[in-house]
Amino acid sequence: PASVSRAPRSSAPRRLRATADGFGSLTQNLNSAWQKAAGLGELNAENIKAPLRDIRRALLEADVSLPVVRRFVKRVEERALGTEVVKGVRPDQQLVKVVADELTNLMGGKQAPLATNTSGPTVILMAGLQGVGKTTACGKLATYLRRRQQRVLLVGTDVYRPAAIDQLRTLGEQVGMPVFDKGTEADPVDVAREGVAKAAAEGFDAVIVDTAGRLQVDPKLMAELQAIKDEVAAQETLLVVDAMTGQEAANLVDTFNQQIGITGALLTKLDGDSRGGAALSIREVSGRPIKFVGIGERMEDLDAFVPDRMTSRILGMGDVLTLVERAEEAVSAEEAARIQQKLMDANFDFNDFMGQMKMMERMGAFSNVMAMLPGGNKMTPKQMRDAQKSMKDFGAMIDVMTEEEKSNPDLLMPDAEDPADALARRERVAEESGKELEAVDLMVAQFQGMRLQMANLGKMMRGDIPMETAPPIPEGHARRRRPKGAAPKPLAMPAAAPEEAEPLAVE
C-alpha cells in the first residue's frame, strides 16, 4: 500500500482559547486532568502521574512560575495520596477537591481586607510602573469605597507628567469625587502630606494617593515612594500590577515589597487576554496578598480578591456569591421583591424586562457576569457575542413597542383574544426595529416561556400545584428565514414540553 506522508508537527505554541473570565485555557486544561482521573479505581503513586502532568502543564501554560508549579504539584500529590478515600467519592472528585483546596491556599487562603485607621482617614498609597493602569485603579478603588458609604479624597503626587494629574482630575469629575493636587511644580512629599491633612480636617474616611510611575524600577522611584509612605504613615501601600504580564507581575510585587514594604497588590486587566499566572503566583512568590482585581473598563469594575471564589471560577464553578453582591448593589431590595412578585404572579411585562437588562448592565460587562455563573466561562467568544446581540436585539424590539404593548405583553401573544391584531402588532414591531418577523416571534415566545415558568415556580412554592403535575412550559421557536414573498405565518405556541436543550458548544 502507498505510504502516507505526515506533515511535521508545528513547534509553534498553541493559541489559547479566550474565555469569559480572562483565565484563557487554564480551566479547559485542568479538565483533562479530571478526565484522566475519572477512569481510575483509586489514586495511587503510579496512576496519579498522568493527571498530575496535565495539572503541571495547565499551570505552566497559565504562566505560573516553574518553582511555584513544582511546589504546588508536590503538595497536590502528597494530599491526594494521603487522603482517606470517602465511600462514594470518585477519584476525579477527590482530585478536584484537593486541587481546589491547594489553589485557594496558593492565593492566600482567606481574603485580605483593607486596613483601617481608627484615628483619622485611612491612607492608601498606590504605586506601580507606567502603563499598568495605576491612575485608573485609583478611580476604581475610590468608587469601590464610595459604594461602601465612604468619603474619599484623591491626591495626585505625580508631578513629572502633567497628563497624569489631568487624568486624575478627569477621573475625579467622572466619579464625582474631589481631587487634591498642587500642579507640576510642587514636591510630591509635600503634596501627599497636605492632602492627608486636608482629608483629616474635612472628615474624609479615606485618602488615595496616586504616586508617580516609572518605566522600570529605579532607586529614585523607590526613594520617593519610601519618603511619601513615611510622611503620611500609610495604612495600605498597594502595588498596581498588570495581570497580562503573568509571573513577571509576581516578581515585581516581590521586588517592591523587599525595597519599600507593601501591604498587597491590585491586579488589573484580569478580564483581558491574561492566563491567570499573576493571580496564582503573587502570594506564593512575594508573600503579599492580592487585595483587589480589575475585571473591566468601567469605574465599577473592581472586585475584592477572595481566594476561594477565584478558585471556584478557575475550576469552572462560577462565583455566585460575588454575583449576588453585584446584584444587591445594582438594585434595591424593594425593587427586587417587586420584580420577584411580578414574575411569580405572571405579571412581568416588557418594561420590567428592560429594567432587568439595565440592571445587568449596572452589574458589569456581560462577559464578567457570565463568568460568575457555573459553566459560564466555557462560553466561547462567539457564543458571548451572540448572546449579547440577542439582548441588544430584544431591547431594540421593545423600544419600538407602544406603552400599551410594553405594559400588556398579551397583546402580542399568538393566543391573544385577537390573533390577527397580535400578528399585525408583531409585524409592526419587526418593521420599526429593523428585524425579521421570525426574530420578533422568537423574542415573544421566549418571553412568554419565561413568564409561565416563573408563574409555575411561584405556584409550586405556594403549594397551589404539586411539583410533579406542574404544566409544561411552551418551547421556544427556532429562528427560520421565511421564503421571499411568502405570507407570514402566525406563531403557534405548542403545548408539548420541550426536549432537553443541547449544551453550549465549546470550541
Express each pLDDT in 191-232 by its tens digit.
999 999 999 999 999 999 999 987 778 888 899 999 999 999
Q: What is the mean pLDDT of residues 332-337?
A: 70
Strands 152-156 and 122-127: unpaired
Question: How far apart, in Å, are the Cα atoms of 236 and each of 71, 115, 117, 124, 360?
Answer: 30, 6, 10, 5, 32
Handedness of CA 51, 283, 327, 369 (dihedral sign): negative
Q: What is the mean pLDDT of residues 308-318?
A: 79
Could you give the strand order of the β-sheet that contains 206-210, starting from the edge strand earlier in sequence?
A: 179-180, 152-156, 206-210, 122-127, 236-242, 264-268, 290-294, 302-304
Q: What is the mean pLDDT of residues 58-74?
A: 90
Residues 6+ apart with CB under 8 A from 386: none
Separation CA 288–CA 108 (nearest Å): 8
Residues 6+ apart with CB under 8 A from 400: 428, 429, 432, 433
Residue 10 lies in a domain: no
| Residues 234 and 159 grouped into a single domain | yes
Q: Is the pLDDT confidence value at 393 over 60?
A: yes
Q: How many CB atoms lie within 10 A of CB 207?
A: 28
Q: Ramachandran region of residue 22, left (φ > 0), alpha (ψ -120 to 50) or beta?
A: left
Which has more confidence, 477 or 26?
26
Q: Which of 18, 87, 2, 96 is nearest to 55 (CA)?
A: 96
| Residues 303 and 335 grouped into a single domain | no
Measured in Å, how far apart are the chain's first and last C-alpha atoms?
Answer: 36
Q: What is the mean pLDDT of residues 443-463?
A: 75
Separation CA 68–CA 65 (nearest Å): 5
Q: What is the pLDDT of residue 326?
A: 66
Which phi and psi angles does 241 have, rounded to 5°? -130, 150
Q: What is the pLDDT of residue 389?
A: 86
> pLDDT tier at 398 (50, 70, 90 boundaries)?
very high
**Which segment of 151-155, 384-388, 405-409 scores lowest on mean pLDDT?**
384-388
The enclosing H or E element of 483 equals none
Residue 16 lies in a domain: no
Express each pLDDT in 264-284 by its tens digit.
999 998 876 556 788 888 998
Q: What is the mean pLDDT of residues 9-25?
A: 44
Task: For 311-347, give one letter per residue: b (16+ CB within 10 A) or e.
Answer: bbbbbbbbbeebbeebeeebbeeeeeeebeeebbebe
Query: Does the reported pTM lie above 0.75?
Result: no
| Residues 85 and 130 grouped into a single domain | no
Residue 208 lies in a domain: yes
Q: What is the pLDDT of residue 246?
A: 80
| Residues 304 and 206 grouped into a single domain | yes
Separation CA 206–CA 141 (nearest Å): 11
Contact in structure between 377 and 367 (CB atoms under 8 Å): no
Separation CA 353–CA 348 (nearest Å): 7
| Residues 191 and 291 grouped into a single domain | yes
Q: What is the dihedral of CA 282, 288, 292, 294, to 10 degrees?
A: -30
Separation CA 63–CA 24 (nearest Å): 11
Query: What nine digits make up the cell of 227?
Result: 519618603
Q: Is the pLDDT confidence value at 285 over 50?
A: yes
Q: What is the pLDDT of residue 232?
A: 94
Q: What is the pLDDT of residue 497?
A: 37
| Residues 78 and 145 grouped into a single domain | no
Express each pLDDT in 482-501 by its tens digit.
444 444 443 443 333 333 33
| Residues 101 and 57 grouped into a single domain | yes
Which has more confidence, 362 or 104?
104
Residue 178 lies in a domain: yes
> pLDDT tier at 74 (50, 70, 90 boundaries)?
very high
Q: What is the mean pLDDT of residues 456-462?
A: 63
Q: What is the pLDDT of residue 103?
A: 92
| Residues 87 and 129 grouped into a single domain | no
Total of domains in the chain? 3
Q: What is the pLDDT of residue 105?
A: 93
Residue 490 lies in a domain: no
In DSSP notation, 437-478 reads HHHHHHHHHHHHHHHHHHHHHHHHHHTSS-GGGPPPPPPP--
Residue 156 lies in a domain: yes
Q: What is the mean pLDDT of residues 35-58?
A: 82
Q: What is the mean pLDDT of residues 135-148?
A: 94
| Residues 335 and 462 grouped into a single domain | yes
Q: Is the pLDDT confidence value at 347 over 90?
A: no
Q: What is the pLDDT of residue 331?
A: 65
Angle at 494 between CA 455 and CA 351, to 5 degrees: 45
**Which segment of 162-176, 338-352, 417-431 scores lowest on mean pLDDT?**
338-352
Question: How far apart, in Å, are the Cα atoms of 227 and each of 5, 109, 209, 220?
Answer: 68, 32, 13, 11
Contact in structure between 443 and 405 (CB atoms under 8 Å): no
Express each pLDDT in 399-424 by its tens digit.
999 999 999 999 999 988 899 999 99
Q: Is the pLDDT confidence value at 7 over 50?
A: no
CB under 8 Å, gap of 24 or more: what pairs does 108-115 form? 108/283, 108/289, 108/290, 108/307, 109/307, 110/307, 111/304, 111/305, 111/306, 111/307, 112/264, 112/289, 112/290, 112/291, 112/305, 113/291, 113/304, 114/235, 114/236, 114/291, 115/235, 115/236, 115/263
Separation CA 214–CA 337 (nearest Å): 50
Q: What is the mean pLDDT of residues 84-111?
A: 82
Contact in structure between 316 and 31 (CB atoms under 8 Å): yes
Q: How many CB atoms lie within 10 A of CB 119?
A: 5
Q: What is the pLDDT of residue 236?
A: 95
Mean pLDDT of all residues in the chain? Answer: 79
| Residues 188 and 259 grouped into a single domain | yes
Residue 19 lies in a domain: no
Residues 6+ apart with CB under 8 A from 66: 60
| Residues 97 and 71 grouped into a single domain | yes
% of the chain exceeding 90 in pLDDT: 37
| Residues 245 and 373 grouped into a single domain | no
Q: What is the CATH number of the domain that holds 215?
A: 3.40.50.300
Q: What is the pLDDT of residue 209?
A: 96
Which domain does 428 fall in, by range? 331-469
Residue 73 lies in a domain: yes
> pLDDT tier at 247 (50, 70, 90 boundaries)?
confident
Of these ranges, 296-310, 325-339, 473-487, the one predicted with the greatest mean pLDDT is 296-310
Beta bridge partners of 266: 240, 292
Residue 268's SS3 state is strand
Alpha helices in 147-236 (DSSP H): 162-175, 188-201, 219-232
Q: What is the CATH number of the domain that holds 410?
A: 1.10.260.30
Determine the distance from the C-alpha atom of residue 431 to the mean position of all C-alpha atoms in its chain, rounded to a whole number: 36
Q: Which of 233, 241, 274 is nearest to 257 (CA)?
A: 241
